[in-house]
Structure 1
Amino acid sequence: MSIKLTSIPIDCTLMTIGLRARLPLAVAGLLLSAQTQAFLPTPLSVLESDALSPDASSIAPTSTAPTYSNSDALSEPDNISSAESNIQNSTLSESSLATEQLLSTWRQQVKADKLAQHTTWRRLLYFYDDKNSVLGKKKTESLVDDPSFFLSKNGQQDSGEELDAMLVALAQELVSSSATENNQTKTDTNNNSVLCRFPARVAWLAGVLAIDAASLLADCPELDDWMSTLTPEQLSIMFAQEYLDNPLSAFAHTLLRIDSKASIADPNQIDKAYGLNYTVDGDPNDSFPVYATKSMIGSYNSAIEIDPYPEMLAKYLQDDERDTWTYQLSLTPAEVQQIMHHVWETKALKMPYYFTTDNCASEILRLIDVVRPQQNLLSQLSYAVVPSDVIQLLNDEQLLANTTYTPADNTLRQAQLNDKKQQRAQLGYHNSAKQTVNEIKSAQLNPVSSMSADGQTLLKRQIDVSDNNPIDRHPLQLGTIGIGQRGDDDYMDIGFRAGFHDTLDYASGYPQFFNLEGLAATLRLYDTDDNKSNQLDSVVLQNVTLIRGRSFNPVNAAKKGNTWGASIEATRVNDGSQEAGTDHLVGSVGYEKGWSWAFGTPAAGTGEMPPQLCYTFLAGTGQVGRGINKGFRLGAGINAGCRYQINNQLRAQAELQLPYWYHGNSDETNVRGHYWQPISSLGLQYDIDKKQALRINANYEWQDRIDANDDIQLSYRRYF
């Protein structure tokens, strides 16, 4: 610190005496606010090393420069530089003493209250002691490996060392700020101070150490500009429904809406709001299989995008045409500010992105956990974090307030189409009706939207809500137990499915006709008879599904896109190439592409499609396995079926598969190298409630070379 002398020496010396007298008084107020709370207990802790003695007289000043008395200064009026040095050394000594006094007080409280192990402090540093993760680092280590995120060189491994380094830096800045104020000299802007770099950490420490908020004022133009641009007053979570036509969006998406006072006063003024999107920072030049694989295994970094909310919302409502649901989070204004300060601290971090565990939904839970440590939200979804599960969890924890449904553009066009078809039914068919329907379905000819023409505001919703609120859906996981008969053999099936939903499942909460299943397996136990020849094994693996799904976009609906399906699984099949063939476990990959049609009467006043569905696919399948002829077969054919919603609790689906299989030429007269093998199937499900159901499945294979053509089963299904 330097003081410029602008008057005669005696006046300067007297001024210095006054300044030195005021510095301890200014710091004393700061110390008093901390010391009065030093005896209060809190739950956790930090420092195993000895804290400095609280006795100020026993602390050696860090400066060893000589000091001078007032008479010395007066006796050397010609030695101006010596007077300046005297003032600097004396002031530095007092600042060092004040810093050590602050540190001594804080360290005692940190040790007594075990603040270094406090859940909030460790979460601010990305230590997760209560989260299980197969792919994560050890629980004793922060997930962040960026040195700039820590003040201590061992901060990633030791939350105690990082806390002490934070206290040292904070004490130095507070004392320096107090001295600057006493000297009436404005310091230069310092965006790299701890007050500017880590405002969330400082805010938490200020609370637990009872630091006077007035003393934490700092000149942080970058942080101040960022906060004044966002003006965060309220946070909401926005859910965009599943979108199978983009596989990376097949599991839905969530982001945070950041509301200002203006957008709170009028939620339709979305131009006054921002969106925070946690996403993958992938390489757009990578092929989709490479991109998806890297997203799964953490080879890409994550990225935090904060953009005007209208731009983000338009992507879902207009580009992807996905309905959205927005839920206000029940957070206090102070919690909102703390979350945004923590986002400031972490927005530039390069963290691995894991599609199933560290994704858009998990980041929202992590941010809430920072300000609500007692709820431990993220640990409740330890191994997979899915957007719809996050919505249901937040609802169960009573963290959701107001709910807003915003229909996509195609949903609005479907509502118009429903009205038109109802008019046609009432007035009769006429030649211009078809042209009118095509105009309604066209996004170019009918640019209806929930957003204004300039894309800056939301328009008043004109239709009723659809039955796709994720709060209403059945739980993600499924367990099944069933009894059945295949040919003359009785059996019991035990199955598990990690997610999501097939066309017979409880329909509320999902997009219409949604069909996506993943990570499923079924074990079959046969009631064997040792006296029978060609007896089946008593226990067999019936099926393991990696992924199986179908995207239905009916050609007579307003929904855009194609109708297609795909599957990757291991399943048991009957090989019809040989006499008296038995079933074998094979690896199977299939792809379908075709057409679908919706029919029936849609829910009045909504943009839902008609409830019934028929479809036709052109299908191709490849299978490999040691048990089938020549170890492989290729199939091509047609799959056609219908799904019928009988009532809210009962649904049925029938399908006919007509594959033509090819194994390759064979010299054996009793072995066929190619053949038809039609399969007909029927499914019927009755919902007891949204967590329980009964299902009947029946299959018949129209092939004379297999040992059992028919298979019928009754199963109990439990969603959890």
Structure 2
Amino acid sequence: MIRKHACTADSPPRLSLFSIMTAPMTTGGAMIGFIVGALFSVSAQATLPVPVAVLEADEETASTLNHETLIRNTELSTSDNDRQSIKSTAAASMLASWRQQAQADNLAQHTTWRRLLYFLDDNKNIFTKGKNKSLVSDSAFFLSTEGQYDSAAELDAMLMALSQALSQSHISSDSVLCRYPARVSFLAEALGIEHPNLKASCSELDEWMEMLAPEQLSIMFGQEYLDNPISAFAHTLLRIDSKASLADPSQVHHAYALNDTVDGNPDDNFLIFAIKAASGGYDNRIEIDPYPEKWANYLKKDERDTWTYQLDLTPAEVQQIMRHVWETKDLHIPYYFATDNCASEILRLIDVVRPQQRLLSQLPYAVIPSDVIQLLDNESLLTSTLYTPSDGTLRQAQLNKANEALQLGYATFTQDDINSIKSEQANVVSSISADKQSLVSFDIEASDNNPIDRQPLQRGHLGVGRQGDNSYIELGLRAGYHSMLDRPSGFPQFLDLEGAAATLRLYDTDSAKPNQPKSVVLQNATLIRGRSFNPVNSAKKGQTWGLNVEATRINDGSQPEGGSHLVASTALEYGKSWVFGTPTTDTGEMPPQLCYTFATGAVQGGRGINKGFRIGAGVNAGCRYQINNRLRAQAELQLPYWYHGSSDQQGVQSGYWQPISTIGLQYDIDRKQALRINASYEWQDRIVANDDVKLSYMRYF
């Protein structure tokens, strides 16, 4: 009977003095002593707390204590204070062991740990981040008051909070287990932590993960779209696939989109918006929306082709990325259009689970979406590719077939029929079903705009030329993006967008002659120059327009023998464009040849020119011709009329016409090298050096 109750602490044996006194006398004193000793031992076990001194072993011994034994001993205690004391002791023993291991492994400086805290050590943004400062300034993101500046302090605070959380019988929603699941997962793996509470339920987190059901991640690339300044340099987002959408990629309603974008003020005008977006004046915003809704904006609203690439990530890496998104999705972090944007955020997320690849550090200072795609491809992180034509591309494919039938004479189409095919209102063909639930497949070949195939965006050139009677050497550098003469593969058709470019000329001058240029001059410094072509005889919607903001060297035609001067210049263009020729078979590409005409207006100002300024208006007309896959030509005639204001000076004109004809020809040596010829002539008899001819070697990098 005593043996039975000895293993049941909550039912101690009930022995009485009568039972002892009436025990058989043959047992003698030994029997009485045994019974009294057993009574004392069992009673003491049931009523006295476990001595704390027994549990406060040295760190090496404490690290081997079984946590379940500690909890069971806690349950044996009848005192709440004693129970709390033992739990605190259990937390302290775990914390001591973790601290010792973390120090030995230098875990506070582990690349992954610092990336989880937004210490972007290998990011090259010199204006906003330092190596020893987290990008996040929100104190709620850190457990330590020094967390933004000290990853070791944040690690210790995290270990303390984790040891307390694992010692609790109830896990609250504000526990570190629920607030920082990615950090907890990393620490559990790094320190070998195993505990039932690691799998504790967190209602909000669990519901969020259940809604997304992440099984795989893909990166979606939406091509450049000049009619929206935010999307001028393309866009990327993550597609979150569930088991259903992964099994059948056409079932897009089972997928979600994770989009990092600028949280800008829609009431700000374009100039203010651009300045704030470029300088960190706005926060970034993480949006998680049903994938069809977000995808439809690209394919239907903007009519941009998309390319989707599945990322080569393990299921465990996908889960860890999504845990980290949970930790960071509500943070207020500055958005920088060129450096901390939709593309850099994707690389940062992958870097969290693939620290050895250091993706973000491999890109130049500016992070461009297409560069990210090429980097991921070079790192063998893309496993499959899906091309999805936009509504405009599908209409263009139909238009191509209709035009082909007309040319061959086996079909008859009226102009109304052609207009109906081109119209987005009359022709509602789309890659997304009407209910936005699934992807619709079409028998169409992919356009030649896969960003993996494009040449590098940065370009340098070395040229030799002659202007008038003076020879020169020209050096140029362009940060991005693409001109009409550049190799077209990998870009939207007729993309014409350049920025952050500068050109220097070194002249061999003759000082004995008047109006000679200086030995070294800044020929041009372009802030932004772009043209958006939406040909009227294509299926593309939108207008044809252009913008140019630069400092450039011009010839002043208002004065006799007018020389060249550097001026600040802003020009706007608005007009029409047309395509002609034979498009690539079975694609939605437009015909390869383009002609255009613009009405233009410009304002220029600078020292040296008459009155210090001039205002111009006129017409620009030109054509771009794709001779073959490697050779292109472009010719343009500019007919501006310039006005400087009234002048009483002898021989000085207030206004004048200054026509300029230009021609360019580029031959691609390979993907990264080309030769280019440029020639221009200014039809103005007051200018000393009317002609300019140049041969350049172009290097893309």
Query: Quick one: distance in 1 between partners of 2:227 and 2:683?
Result: 34
Q: How does 1:274-673 map to 2 (within 5 A)?
A: 274-427=256-409, 432-673=413-654
Shift of 1:134: 2.4
What is the letter of the counterpart of residue 305 of structure 2? D
Alpha-carbon deviations, 1:604-634, whole Å to 9, x = none?
0000000000000001111101111111111
Q: How does 1:51-90 map to 2 (within 5 A)?
A: 53-54=59-60, 56=62, 86-90=78-82
Alpha-carbon deviations, 1:539-561, whole Å to 9, x = none?
00000000001000000000000
**Residue pair 2:49, 2:82 contacting (<8 A) in 1 also:** no
Query: Quick one: distance in 1 between partners of 2:470 and 2:564?
Result: 13
Aligned to 1:128: 120
Query: Quick one: distance in 1 between partners of 2:528 and 2:203?
Result: 50
TM superposition score normalised by structure 2 = 0.90
Alpha-carbon deviations, 1:29-52, whole Å to 9, x = none?
xx9xxxxxxxxxxxxxxxxxxxx8
Shift of 1:381: 2.2
Which has the larger Rg?
Answer: 2
What is the letter of the counterpart of residue 493 of structure 1? E
TM superposition score normalised by structure 1 = 0.88
Task: Name the SS for the 1:689 alignment partner.
Answer: coil
Query: Quick one: distance in 2 between partners of 1:622 and 1:294?
Result: 25
Alpha-carbon deviations, 1:109-167, whole Å to 9, x = none?
11111000111001100112222212213221111111111111111111111111111
Task: Name the SS for the 1:414 alignment partner.
Answer: helix
Query: Quick one: distance in 2 between partners of 1:569 and 1:294?
Result: 20
**Residue pair 1:54, 1:101 contacting (<8 A) in 2 also:** no
Aligned to 1:207: 189
**Residue pair 1:569, 1:588 contacting (<8 A) in 2 also:** yes
Aligned to 1:683: 664
Task: Tell me, yes or no, if structure 1 residue 173 matches structure 2 residue 165.
Answer: yes
Aligned to 1:63: none
Q: How does 1:13-92 map to 2 (within 5 A)?
A: 53-54=59-60, 56=62, 86-92=78-84
CA-atom RMSD in angstroms: 2.6
Query: Quick one: distance in 2 between partners of 1:621 and 1:691?
Result: 34
Task: Name the SS for the 2:575 alignment partner.
Answer: strand
Query: Quick one: distance in 1 between partners of 2:648 and 2:267?
Result: 48
What is the letter of the counterpart of residue 391 of structure 1? I
Shift of 1:529: 2.5
For the structure 1 residues 94 and 20, does the alpha-carbon distance in structure 2 shift closer, same or farther, using more than 3 Å as the test?
Answer: farther
What is the letter of the counterpart of residue 249 of structure 1? S
Greater CA deviation, 98-107 or 500-509? 98-107
- In structure 1, stretches of 5+ residues that fail to align are 1-6, 32-51, 60-68, 71-82, 181-186
Query: Quick one: distance in 1 between partners of 2:444 and 2:283?
Result: 40
For the structure 1 residues 382 and 53, does the alpha-carbon distance in structure 2 shift closer, same or farther, using more than 3 Å as the test?
Answer: farther
Aligned to 1:37: none
Greater CA deviation, 667-676 or 403-412? 667-676
Report percent identity of matched pairs. 64
**Residue pair 1:513, 1:552 contacting (<8 A) in 2 also:** yes
**Residue pair 2:662, 2:680 contacting (<8 A) in 1 also:** yes
For the structure 1 residues 660 and 522, does the alpha-carbon distance in structure 2 shift closer, same or farther, using more than 3 Å as the test?
Answer: same
**Residue pair 1:551, 1:565 contacting (<8 A) in 2 also:** yes
Alpha-carbon deviations, 1:68-92, whole Å to 9, x = none?
x99xxxxxxxxxxxx9995212222
Aligned to 1:143: 135
Shift of 1:330: 0.6
**Residue pair 1:618, 1:637 contacting (<8 A) in 2 also:** yes
Task: Name the SS for the 2:669 alignment partner.
Answer: strand
Query: Quick one: distance in 2 between partners of 1:16 and 1:352?
Result: 63
Query: Quick one: distance in 2 between partners of 1:474 and 1:249?
Result: 20
Task: Name the SS for the 1:506 alignment partner.
Answer: coil
**Residue pair 1:56, 1:97 contacting (<8 A) in 2 also:** no
Query: Quick one: distance in 2 between partners of 1:87 and 1:673?
Result: 100
Greater CA deviation, 546-555 or 100-109? 100-109
What is the letter of the counterpart of residue 250 of structure 2? N
Task: Name the SS for the 1:204 alignment partner.
Answer: helix
Query: Quick one: distance in 2 between partners of 1:158 and 1:22?
Result: 39
Query: Quick one: distance in 2 between partners of 1:671 and 1:242?
Result: 46
Alpha-carbon deviations, 1:235-273, whole Å to 9, x = none?
000000000011111010000000001101000000000
Task: Tell me, yes or no, if structure 1 residue 96 matches structure 2 residue 88.
Answer: yes
Shift of 1:427: 1.0
For the structure 1 residues 614 and 56, does the alpha-carbon distance in structure 2 shift closer, same or farther, using more than 3 Å as the test?
Answer: closer
Alpha-carbon deviations, 1:399-444, whole Å to 9, x = none?
11100000000000000000000001011796x5211110000111
What is the letter of the counterpart of residue 361 of structure 1? A
For the structure 1 residues 322 and 213, does the alpha-carbon distance in structure 2 shift closer, same or farther, using more than 3 Å as the test?
Answer: farther
What is the letter of the counterpart of residue 112 of structure 1? A
Task: Name the SS for the 1:388 alignment partner.
Answer: helix
Task: Name the SS for the 2:210 alignment partner.
Answer: helix
Aligned to 2:6: none
What is the letter of the counterpart of residue 602 of structure 1? P
| Corresponding pairs, count | 656
Shift of 1:535: 2.6
For the structure 1 residues 615 and 20, does the alpha-carbon distance in structure 2 shift closer, same or farther, using more than 3 Å as the test?
Answer: farther
**Residue pair 2:517, 2:564 contacting (<8 A) in 1 also:** no
Query: Quick one: distance in 2 between partners of 1:20 and 1:513?
Result: 86
**Residue pair 2:49, 2:77 contacting (<8 A) in 1 also:** no
**Residue pair 1:406, 1:461 contacting (<8 A) in 2 also:** no
Shift of 1:18: 8.0
Shift of 1:473: 0.6
Query: Quick one: distance in 2 between partners of 1:15 and 1:637?
Result: 106
Query: Quick one: distance in 2 between partners of 1:246 and 1:325?
Result: 19
Query: Quick one: distance in 2 between partners of 1:511 and 1:682?
Result: 23
Aligned to 2:34: none
**Residue pair 1:190, 1:219 contacting (<8 A) in 2 also:** no
Shift of 1:10: 7.9
**Residue pair 1:131, 1:382 contacting (<8 A) in 2 also:** no
Shift of 1:495: 0.2
Shift of 1:174: 1.4
Shift of 1:587: 0.5
Counterpart of 1:191 (choices 166, 173, 179) is 173
For the structure 1 residues 412 and 279, does the alpha-carbon distance in structure 2 shift closer, same or farther, using more than 3 Å as the test?
Answer: same
Shift of 1:280: 1.0
Aligned to 1:74: none
Query: Quick one: distance in 2 between partners of 1:91 and 1:534?
Result: 95
Task: Name the SS for the 1:703 alignment partner.
Answer: coil
